[in-house]
Structure 1
Amino acid sequence: MNRNRTMTAEREVKPQAKLQVAEELSSADSDFLAALGRRVRELRERRGMTRKRMALEADVSERYLGQLETGEGNVSMLLLRRVAAALNVTLGEVLLPEQEDSVERRLIRRFLERIPAHRLEDVIFRLMREFGHEEAARRKRIALIGLRGAGKSTLGKLLAKELNAPFIELDGEVERETGLPLNEIFSLYGQAGYRRIERRCLERVIEKHERAVISVGGGIVAEEDGFKLLLGNCFTVWLKAAPEEHMARVVAQGDLRPMAGNEEAMDDLKRILAAREPLYRKADAVVDTSGQTTEASLAKLRGLVVA
């Protein structure tokens, strides 16, 4: 019995587990501490925890909790964090008044806390797309992404005509911006320089056109800021095709560059497609044009973008 009293006394005199009693507090400070105390007590009682049990869980004294719940002293943030951990809530949930922190908000916050960091970006984009106040405006701009030969120019022009909207090829905007063909832009400025110009042109297109069908170079997904800008301001469709069809379509257009001096061109194309696929899948929708006629692919695309 004496040993238990000694242990209790030791817990109560721990320097880190005692509140400093404030001798002179402003009315606003007193109101804050009183509200904080009520919040802690409500959270504890909801969980069916006694003050003694919570003191053990938080490794603080019952005297500390008593002072905290009655708003009788200045509270240490470090100790308050222990209390929050014992209640299995965040520090923000303890500090926010009930009327400002609804059950729904707390559930959403806990859900987000459990999502791995590498998935948060996808969640943010989905929330923006579904609930963003500019969602209606975003859907009026349709951006087609994918590798060369996917059908972006062919389908984009046809769709733009049906929607009576301008068709814009972002590569063409880059050439007009610099007065140079693409191959010279890459030679002079490199990949990073090209992406900066591309992003600047995309910003201008978004600002100028409320409605448009935009064909975007397949490499934009490799430039994080530019791709985020695209996803946040355009309804984005990945035009997908098998590697063999990508290559065949480019060659059929008279462009032999993919095969020139490169016997492993197909393997390179497959590697690029495999590396970019997780990024392309961030698009709002996917249209697989493999083995499809232009009319069939256009019908799929139309069904996605026309309300």
Structure 2
Amino acid sequence: MLPSRSPAPSWEGKPIVLIGLMGVGKSTVGRRLAGRLGLPFADADEEIEVAAGMSVADIFARFGEAYFRDGERRVIRRLIDGRPKVIATGGGAFLNGDTRALILAQAVTIWLRADPAVLADRVRRRDTRPLLHGRNALEVLGDLARVRDPIYAQAPIHIASQRAPHEATVGAILKAIGR
């Protein structure tokens, strides 16, 4: 089990941005967190799909990951407009240096993290993850965690996502932001 780490900064009405690997619950937890705080919710991947008129998987297949990441960067820049809201990012969004700097400077950044075995169980339920197509989910997620976790760790708030109801994670976030 991964412990949570949080220096407990108080939330001052900035956008709240959830980062972490695929399957950690950014979208589901984000929707519930927004509801509890009475804020709008935005899913960066859904916003990209609307802007592009196609699914994330189709964007990856047709144009490649670099094209997708460029669109993702632009969408996140648009979403972080200073108004309070909860934003769920795609798993790779925080890897882009410009996007990461923007999120860290202008939002409350929360890393939702979980053991790759837990994530592999979760992502097997849907076949919509381009990075997993035709590959072993546990292996891919373990590799991604080794590369991405040190970058995600730059977030000031770390919340462990465990095999528990999503409300437990929402409660941990509310506590971490002083709500």
Aligned residue number for residue 304 of structure 1: 176
Taking the aligned partners of 1:161 and 1:251, their CA distance within structure 2 comes to: 27
**Percent same amino acid among aligned pairs?**
34
**Where do 5+ consecutive residues of structure 2 fail to align?**
1-8
Aligned residue number for residue 172 of structure 1: 46
Name the aligned partner's letter for residue 87 of structure 2: I
Please state how far the C-alpha of 1:306 moved relative to its aligned partner. Answer: 3.7
Name the aligned partner's letter for residue 216 of structure 1: T
Q: CA 1:259–1:191 in 2, change beyond 3 Å: closer, same or farther?
A: closer
Q: Which has the higher helix share?
A: 1
Name the aligned partner's letter for residue 211 of structure 1: P
Aligned residue number for residue 103 of structure 2: 230
Give the CA RMSD over aligned residues.
2.3
Higher relative contact order (CA 8 A, sep 6+): 2
User: Within the alignment, does 1:274 sit opposite 2:129 as a pair?
Assistant: no
Among 123, 139, 154, which residue is 1:250 paired with?
123
Deviations 1:64-121 (A, max 9, x none): xxxxxxxxxxxxxxxxxxxxxxxxxxxxxxxxxxxxxxxxxxxxxxxxxxxxxxxxxx
Query: Contact between 2:44 and 2:89, CA under 8 Å: does it hold in 1?
Result: yes
Paired residue secondary structure (2:64): helix
Taking the aligned partners of 2:29 and 2:128, their CA distance within structure 1 comes to: 22
Among 57, 63, 72, which residue is 1:198 paired with?
72
Among 13, 21, 26, which residue is 1:147 paired with?
21
Please state how far the C-alpha of 1:136 moved relative to its aligned partner. Answer: 7.1
Please state how far the C-alpha of 1:212 moved relative to its aligned partner. Answer: 0.4
Name the aligned partner's letter for residue 122 of structure 2: R
Output the TM-score relative to the length of structure 2: 0.84
- 1:1-307 to 2 correspondence within 5 Å? 140-207=14-81, 210-252=83-125, 254-255=126-127, 261-262=134-135, 264-307=136-179
Taking the aligned partners of 2:98 and 2:174, their CA distance within structure 1 comes to: 28
Count residues with an aligned counterpart. 170
Query: Contact between 2:124 and 2:137, CA under 8 Å: does it hold in 1?
Result: no
Name the aligned partner's letter for residue 152 of structure 1: K
Which 10-residue stretch deviates more, 196-205 or 186-195?
A: 186-195
Please state how far the C-alpha of 1:245 moved relative to its aligned partner. Answer: 0.8
Paired residue secondary structure (2:159): strand
Output the TM-score relative to the length of structure 1: 0.51
Rg comparison, structure with higher value: 1
Taking the aligned partners of 2:170 and 2:67, their CA distance within structure 1 comes to: 34
Q: Which has the higher strand share?
A: 2
Please state how far the C-alpha of 1:256 moved relative to its aligned partner. Answer: 7.5
